[in-house]
Structure 1
Amino acid sequence: MAEEKEIQETYLEVEETETPRSSRELARGETKAIQRKKKKIKNETGYKFHEFKVAGGSVIDDIYIPVLVYTAWAAIWTVIYQQTKISIALQPIVITLLSTVLGLLLVFRTNTSYDRYWEARRLWSTLFTHSRNLSRLIWYDVDAAGDRKKVAEKFGAVNLVVAFAVACKHYLRGEKGFHYEDLHNLLIHVPDFKPGQYHPETDSLPLEITFHLASYFKRTRKEGMVDAVAGGQMIIALNGLTDSLSSFERIVFSPVPIAYNIHLKQIIMFYLLLLPFQIFSTGYSAIFITFLAAFCLLGIEAIGSEIENPFGYDHNDLDLQGFCEELKAEMAQLCERPTALESTAWSLPAELSDLTKLKSFANRK
């Protein structure tokens, strides 16, 4: 009994009468409360009538004029053919050849654009990972030793991590400088960005922010505020942020070659101009067939152009604003936590509430 008492006091001082409840047996009310707080992520269900949507993500606004032009072209020649019966029909080989080439080009165009879109999303996830790791290391591994100034510096360093993501958002959209409502307040504690001070010109504000973070990490190591392992992890995370920035630049500044886009549009134009002459035998249905072909081909080409640069303000671009707000909220919650979490304050896990079982674990070698 004395030995069990010693184990009990050593392992978290739980009263004998206390029986921890298993984490698998939460009360129904608690389970519902947790579910309400969670952000629900689910696939769309039900019928959304998206086929009638002409704005807010649709490309109809971009293509309806050329679609109408090609339809009018088909209507003019169809009426002429039906009224005069002049021999203006083309041999099938022409459209067959163009269809093969056009199909290959559209597939390549769409796949290339979506690959860029998906890589951009993956890079934002990588940026999130490095930002979370870096903020955690700053908050829990840098020893402020109760010094208010050092604690304030930790707040400032976490702000710079958030500022890096926000600065990337503006930088990728071609918005230079830092005088933005969601960015300036994250940098104002740094002398270079204080109001009324001289602001050094920089073409890449995110890169400038990494310089200030690197300077802070160097001082924390020099003053012994962080151990060598945590300091090395901070540099790795900071390098990860820089790698993400360089990859973002590769997507933004290396678009699909303009010659390819021009050639694709030209082939679509030739195809739609010649299509009515191939299908005159269908009668006035040739007008509707040309309309459908123009709507499909021009729409696919427009989608490729829409997602080629996923960092803009279009409905089909990545939600950079939402990403930055989510990261900012996470960092704000982090900074509300104490800078040290003591595991000695833990109570017994539910699975070890039986002291006999706990004793057997403790005696293992």
Structure 2
Amino acid sequence: MVASNPLFQGGGRLSSVSKRFRATVINDIWPEVFFFTLVATMVSLVSQLTTHNLSISNQMLTVLGTVLGLVISFRTSTAYERFSEGRRLWTNIAIASRNLAQVIWIHAPFERVDKKTNQPLTHVRIVIEKKTMINLIQGFSVSVKHLLRGEAGVYYADLYPLISCLPRFTSPKHTTEDDIMPLWRASEMDHKMHNTIREQSFSSGTLNTVLERAQSDPTVLNEKHTSDMSESEVGWLNSLRGRTGKKFDPEKALAIIPSEHPLKPSRNPPKETIFDYFPFLRLFKLIWRRATRRFRPRPDDSAEQHRSFSGRKIRPELADSNVPLEITLFLQNYFAMLMRNAQLQPASATTMINAINSLQDTVSNLERIKNTPLPFAYQAHLRMSLWLYLFFLPFQIYTAFKFMTIPATAFASFLLLGFLEIGQEIENPFNYDLNDLDLDHFCLVIQRELHEVTAHTTPDLDEFVFSQWNQPFAPADRRTAKEMMEDLDHEYHAPEGKHNIRRTLLKSWHEVDKITRN
């Protein structure tokens, strides 16, 4: 999402100019604006240069304009409500992820006993267990991001390292294709439907690679898959994993786990072409294709499938993926284990289950926004009404504006069609458009916050409260906590010590109130 105004920031480089241009809706509305401008030009030339006057009464102009303005305003406001709700829901994911991670890291005890052997579990074992669950929480937000962008499966550079430890089969003893668990089966189906050009470099059969992945050591699997590849192929594989050494490469912070399939980039926005800079060139592209289609095959359009011929954006459909659901099931399973072993207090257990339920509710609401556009009849009727209004506009204003009808019609078309297209643009705010929500930024914020939670050492209070670095009663009493505890003759330790402490705190309030006011 473009948080700042891109029209007045940045340098004069071509990429900066392109970003400013693509942040507008000009590329979506220019064919319609051009058409209505031609109509206005035709009306002006015919009425001025011939004996035929094409002007008509403008009695309906004010009434229809007011009605259309109100309807377009309602359309834009409704779309912005969906945009704003999507942002609030992502805030809910961040809050629930923080709360869940804090309960797991702090409230789940580090001192445990194995019920089978009655031996205490090692500290490192418990930390690994907790950190793995928190990685799944991070993977949840990343999986939701790919789900909303229509990217199915788990083979992404920012998702696969977080969930690669999850089991592939219903039972370790069964390794047939029918035993693949739903999360990985969905990924395999997606991989079959979208074969990459390098699939043969890894295995000859999808099931064989999955079985090999489930039964092999990751290091051995990685060596086997890369031993027969050239240096350029290995570099290609590393680029898919996000290890290219770019200036901004957040995947470097993730684990490096070999996969049986090539990992897709964490971000896969539509590629820019010259037609994004100069949309009118699409007309020449169509003419060139029709003129040369008999002499050569049609060129590949995979880089431009995000736009129609007129330049209008083509929205991707919601992916059929169950990855967020699978992750919440594993989190629920961990919660059930803690409850069975009586390792959570009731209040902490309530907070944890509420956070998991909040994650599930949020992804359902995000899917609702993605899958519920405004009814087609409403959108079609509004657009056709606006087209008719703009088509007859130059006929109604020619008498008053003469040749100024041409720029007046162009401006009115740009204004009304722009507002209508803005509503269409922000109605689904989960894609790669510059005006969409920055889902990658949200996921990285959650990643940083979760790592900050796990960096907390949960120390005992005596380690930091009663130290010489703590002056709890400042500014009224600037002695350290250690000095106050060691000075047993002070009035704080007297029978009326509670009253003396309150008097000190009241004095602190007076001083702070005086210092902080002008």
Q: TM-score range with shorter-chain normalisation?
A: 0.7 to 0.9
Cα distance in 1, alignment partners of residues 169 and 104 from structure 2: 22
TM-score by length of 2: 0.58
CA distance in 2, matches of 1:307, 1:186: 31
Residue of structure 1 equivalent to 2:388? 270
User: Could you tell me which of 139, 147, 151 is aligned with 1:163?
Assistant: 139
Q: Partner of 1:133 in structure 2?
A: 99
Quote the residue 1:37 is aligned against: none
Q: Which residue of 2 aligns with 1:27?
A: none
Question: Partners of 2:91 and 2:446 in 1: how far apart?
Answer: 11
1:107 pairs with 61, 73, 84, which one?
73
AA aligned opposite 1:268: L
Question: 2:180 maps to what in 1?
Answer: 198
- Map 1:93-104 → 2, pairs under 5 A: 93-104=59-70
Q: Contact (CA 8 Å) 2:46, 2:53: kept in 1 or not?
A: no
Kindly provide the CA deviation profile for residues 182-228 of structure 1, in whole angstroms up to 9, marking residues without a partner as x.
1111101222399x993424642111111100000111121233222
Which stretch of the first structure deviates more once superposed, 351-360 or 278-287?
Answer: 351-360
Moved more, 232-241 or 220-229: 220-229
Q: 1:337 aligns to what?
A: 456
**Conserved 8 A contact 1:54-1:60:** no
Mapped pair 1:242 → 2:323: no
Residues 160 and 187 in structure 1, CA contact (< 8 A), matched pair in contact too = yes
Runs of 4 or more, structure 1, over 4 Å off, are 42-50, 354-362
Higher relative contact order (CA closer than 8 Å, sequence separation 6+): 1
> CA contact under 8 A between 1:54 and 1:61: conserved in structure 2?
no
Is it true that 1:363 corresponds to 2:345 in the alignment? Answer: no
Q: SS of 1:80's equivalent? A: helix
Q: Distance in 2 between matches of 1:362 and 1:230?
A: 35
Q: 1:221 touches 1:228 (CA, 8 Å); kept in 2? A: no
How far did 1:150 drift?
A: 2.4
Distance 1:45 1:161 in 2: 34
Match runs of 1:202-221 below 5 Å? 203-221=321-339
Q: Is the 8 A contact 2:6 2:23 kept in 1?
A: no
Q: Sequence identity, in percent?
A: 35
Cα 1:297/1:154, change in 2 over 3 Å = same
Q: Distance in 1 between matches of 2:34 and 2:25?
A: 14
Amino acid at match of 1:79: L
Contact 1:116 1:308 (8 Å CA) reproduced: yes
**Equivalent AA in structure 1 for residue 106 of structure 2:** Y
What TM-score does the superposition give when structure 1 sets the normalisation length? 0.81
- With over 3 angstroms needed to count, the CA separation of the structure-2 counterparts of 1:48 and 1:71, relative to structure 1, is same
Distance in structure 1 (CA, Å) of the matches to 2:135 and 2:497: 43
Superposed displacement of residue 45, structure 1: 12
| Residue 174 of structure 1, CA deviation | 1.8
Q: Shift of residue 85 of structure 1?
A: 4.2
Aligned residue identity for 1:321? D
Amino acid of the structure 2 residue aligned with 1:230:
S
- Say if 2:312 is the partner of 1:187: no
Partner SS, residue 168 of structure 2: helix
Q: In structure 2, which of residues 426, 431, 438 is the aligned counterpart of residue 319 of structure 1?
A: 438
Where 1:279 maps in the other structure, the secondary structure is helix
Q: 1:232 to 1:55 in 2, by over 3 A?
A: same
Q: After superposing the two structures, state which structure 1 stretch, 143-152 or 294-303, moved more.
A: 143-152
The answer to whether the 8 Å contact 2:58/2:397 transfers is: no
Aligned to 1:260: 378
Output the CA distance in 2 between the equivalents of 1:49 and 1:94: 45
Whether the 8 Å contact between 1:95 and 1:274 is mirrored in structure 2 is no
**CA distance change for structure 1 residues 142 and 193 in 2, over 3 Å: closer, same or farther?**
farther
| Matched residue type, 2:382 | L
Q: Distance in 2 between matches of 1:276 and 1:77?
A: 7
Residue ranges of structure 1 left out of the alignment (5+ in a row): 1-41
Q: What is the Cα-based RMSD across aligned positions, in Å?
A: 2.7
Partner SS state of residue 78, structure 1: helix
SS at match of 2:21: coil
Q: Residue 178 of structure 1 aligns to a residue in which SS?
A: coil
Query: Which residue of structure 1 lines up, in the alignment, with residue 130 of structure 2?
Result: 154
Higher helix fraction (1 or 2): 1
Task: Indicate conservation of the 8 Å contact 1:59/1:299, yes or no.
Answer: yes
- In structure 1, C-alpha distance between the alignment counterparts of 2:323 and 2:60, rounded to whole Å: 53
**Cα deviations across residues 129-162 of structure 1 (Å, max 9, x unaligned)?**
1110100111111113244322211011101111
In the alignment, residue 259 of structure 1 is paired with which amino acid? Answer: A
How many residues are aligned here? Answer: 321
1:52-80 CA distance string (max 9 Å, x none):
98523111111112211111111011100
